[in-house]
A and B are shown apart, each in its own frame.
Chain A
Amino acid sequence: MATETKYEEKYNEPILTGNQSHEVITDRIGSIVLSQEKHPNIWWGFIAFGVMFTPVLVFSIAYLVYKGIGIWGNNQPVAWACDIINFVWWIGIGHAGTLISAILLLFRQQWRNSINRFAEAMTIFAVMCAGLYPLLHTGRPWVDYWIFPYPNILGMWPQFRSPLVWDVFAISTYFTVSLLFWYIGLIPDFATMRDKTKGGVAQKIYGVLAMGWRGSARHWHRYEASYLILAGLSTPLVLSVHSIVSLDFAVSILPGWNVTVFPPYFVAGAVFAGFAMVLLFMIPIRKWYHLEDYVTIRHIDWMSKVMLTTGLIVFYGYILEMFYCWYSGNIYEIYLCINRLSGPYALSYYALIFCNGIAPQILWSPKMRRNIPVVFTVAIIISIGMWLERFVIIPVSLHRDFLPSSWGMYYPTFWDYSMFLGTMGFFTLLMFLFIRFVPMLNIFEMRDLLYKLNIDPSKGAGHTNVESSKKGGN
């Protein structure tokens, strides 16, 4: 159709630009890791931020363990608050990585190659931050190991009907699998690093990490097979993890928690938040490290589209919640919504609707999707919005439930904030160390991409420009 062809021409940027060859790719990406000069001064800034706030995290934890959960604002009836909010927030962020690398791989989406390494790293670090909360939100963290099934002198076991046990299994599995996935993805690149470094400890370290990878065709054969299957495994895994997290709430009998739509709606939310966070980091970094050729405007366009889609699902979720309240005819459900709309925390609900419901709508316009500042701002708004969503789901549902006599209020304390800031610092620190020492784009897959684009442009999500393919050729 006319309009479509027009659209096609207008918005059909290549996903790989500039003069590219295996050599160029290897060098452009690899060299970042090899020399400090390639790093802008801002890198130090972020490292400094991390180094400043990681101790905050450590101290908050120490004081928490010493004094007890009482230092937080939690109370009866609001027994869960920032601890679980932040947990869900982080774990949500931790969903983009595996999703990108696994699902997009299955769908043979070539634009994934230039962002998956980065996103996976984010996943792992986010899950690390998330994992802290369930462990520390317990009243007696020093006996947390009771959640794991191991033979003991008490003859006691965990109680497998509890979603919290499901969480433990889900998250530890998720973390392990993501880590392995990330690592085997790294092996060939470590080999490249090994071979690019000229001697020294660095070479030895990369050598060990590469485990003697030599690019043998037979190895590649098995490698690809298992990598693909791993992707196939991670896809249901990534869906299950946030579904299970959502079951923490859906399994309970609390109005506002006991909602059947939670699993899909949480997963969508997670992807939503995850992509927002990827953009949040990707956009500045591609600038600072001159990676515009690999992370093209087209990638940003794709990611915005994903955000828009998942955002719509989430928004649909909000509408459904309201619909249930009315449809259920259950006075407690009905009051829940009235309370969300007009209770003491109403503001947070409206803010949430704006952040997650209204703001992303701007991404309908292709122009806006290509307007970097706009996308960046939307990403920020969404990250905030997703935090608010958990706030609305957890404390706001808890603080007024069945018996009016036990209604209460919740106010976060200094320690609620300090711990959150701490995790952010920790996360940033890890991210920028990763950028420093590990190739942040998947080199061998970029080569692969280049190769594919050359042999058959039609297969590519977009054609590469001719001379680049020539260059790649000889």
Chain B
Amino acid sequence: MAQIFRPSSNTVIRTVLFLVASAPWALGYLLSMYSRSPYNTKVGVPMDQPIPFSHRHHAYELGIDCRNCHTSVEKSSFAGLPSTETCMQCHSQIWTNSPLLEPLRKSYETGVPIKWKVVNRVPDFVQFNHSIHVNRGINCNQCHGPVQQMHLTWKGNSFEMKWCLNCHREPEKFLYTAETNSGLSPREQVFNLYMKYQQGVPLTAKERSLIRGYDYSPTSDELNKGKTIVKKRGIEKDQLEDCSVCHY
């Protein structure tokens, strides 16, 4: 009987067998990598807008308070977008004929609203309420990233469920009160921090992490502080993990 296969075929078939076996795992791994990549989540990708609005300029350099434009952030589920009117409060005085602001003026004349591109968007089927988060002392940047540093605004975090759960499971990691004026209400704490930052007051590591809005592993002492805050503000942690808090 003659050989059907060449000696080398032994190696070949074993390799093939191995590849076939490992292919699904590799594929799964690649997919998961993709879904977490900025390409998919759009995290850190500046978005073009009809008017190249710079948060860095307005919020940081000029020190305009967030609430000045996002008026309903403390009152409502919706943070609120500045109306053309709001912009014109200043821009009817300054930069009155800057070409960049042409769309704004046009909108004001015609009454046709400006269409901003959505940068931060909660995924579908999720009910998010700005006011309660702010009132509980969650900093804007905790979700939105270092807005004060953004020229064209980009998405600060992935807004994936697992990411939300970080805080909903362990709020103590993220809550804080300023040493200097701890008398302020949680809500005030939030904006007080940005004021300090804008005035260039030296910040603690924790505070800096809050401004930058990345996950920050707090020291045990900070953690304990956080725990006391959770108790003080009467946050029911287990209830925070209920599905119906966000999905209904």
Identify the A interface with B (CB < 8 A): 150-156, 194-195, 203-204, 207-208, 211-212
11 cross-chain CB contacts under 8 A: A150-B28, A151-B32, A153-B161, A153-B163, A154-B160, A154-B162, A155-B165, A195-B1, A203-B4, A204-B4, A207-B4
Name the distance in Å between A210's Cβ and chain B's nearest Cβ. Answer: 10
A153–B160 CB distance below 8 A: yes
Using Cβ atoms and an 8 Å threshold, which residues of chain A touch B4? 194, 203-204, 207
A154–B161 CB distance below 8 A: yes
CA distance A448 to B217 in the complex (A): 68
Interface of B is mostly: helix
Name the distance in Å between B31's Cβ and chain A's nearest Cβ. Answer: 10
Using Cβ atoms and an 8 Å threshold, which residues of chain A touch B28? 150
CA distance A156 to B247 in the complex (A): 14
CA distance A195 to B24 in the complex (A): 34
CA distance A151 to B1 in the complex (A): 53
Name the one of A155, A208, A212 contacting B161, with C-beta atoms under 8 angstroms: A155
B162–A153 CB distance below 8 A: yes
Whether a CB of chain A sits under 8 angstroms from the CB of B75 is no
Chain A residue with the shortest CB-CB distance to B164: A155
Whether a CB of chain A sits under 8 angstroms from the CB of B94 is no
Using Cβ atoms and an 8 Å threshold, which residues of chain A touch B35? 153
Chain B residue with the shortest CB-CB distance to A203: B4
Chain B residue with the shortest CB-CB distance to A150: B28
Type the 1/0 row for B144-184, where 1 means its CB is closer than 8 Å to any CB of A: 00000000000000101111010000000000000000000
B13–A208 CB distance below 8 A: yes
Within 8 A of A (CB), among B1-53: 1, 4-5, 10, 13, 28, 32, 35-36
Using Cβ atoms and an 8 Å threshold, which residues of chain A touch B162? 152-155
Chain B residue with the shortest CB-CB distance to A206: B4
Name the distance in Å between A26's Cβ and chain B's nearest Cβ. Answer: 15
| In the complex with contacts A153-B35, A153-B36, A204-B4, A211-B161 CB distance below 8 A | no
Using Cβ atoms and an 8 Å threshold, which residues of chain B touch A152? 32, 162
Using Cβ atoms and an 8 Å threshold, which residues of chain A touch B5? 204, 207, 212
CA distance A233 to B30 in the complex (A): 35
Other A-B pairs beyond A194-B4, A208-B13, 14, CB < 8 Å: A150-B28, A152-B32, A152-B162, A153-B161, A153-B163, A154-B161, A154-B162, A155-B162, A155-B165, A156-B161, A204-B5, A207-B4, A211-B13, A212-B5
Chain B residue with the shortest CB-CB distance to A197: B4
CA distance A211 to B5 in the complex (A): 11
CA distance A442 to B43 in the complex (A): 60
Question: Nearest 3 A-B pairs (CB), nearest first?
Answer: A155-B162, A153-B160, A154-B161
CA distance A396 to B163 in the complex (A): 46
Name the distance in Å between A92's Cβ and chain B's nearest Cβ. Answer: 29
CA distance A203 to B5 in the complex (A): 10
CA distance A212 to B3 in the complex (A): 11
Using Cβ atoms and an 8 Å threshold, which residues of chain A touch B13? 208, 211
CA distance A155 to B165 in the complex (A): 8
Type the 1/0 row for B96-122, where 1 means its CB is closer than 8 Å to any CB of A: 000000000000000000000000000
Using Cβ atoms and an 8 Å threshold, which residues of chain B touch A194? 4
CA distance A187 to B231 in the complex (A): 67
CA distance A151 to B161 in the complex (A): 13
CA distance A294 to B162 in the complex (A): 61
Name the distance in Å between B19's Cβ and chain A's nearest Cβ. Answer: 15
Using Cβ atoms and an 8 Å threshold, which residues of chain B touch A204? 4-5
Name the distance in Å between A153's Cβ and chain B's nearest Cβ. Answer: 4
Name the distance in Å between A172's Cβ and chain B's nearest Cβ. Answer: 13
Name the distance in Å between B98's Cβ and chain A's nearest Cβ. Answer: 42
CA distance A208 to B14 in the complex (A): 11
Chain A residue with the shortest CB-CB distance to B17: A211
Chain B residue with the shortest CB-CB distance to A211: B13
Using Cβ atoms and an 8 Å threshold, which residues of chain B touch A207? 4-5
Using Cβ atoms and an 8 Å threshold, which residues of chain A touch B158? 153
CA distance A195 to B3 in the complex (A): 11
CA distance A194 to B161 in the complex (A): 55
Chain A residue with the shortest CB-CB distance to B5: A207
Using Cβ atoms and an 8 Å threshold, which residues of chain B touch A212? 5, 10
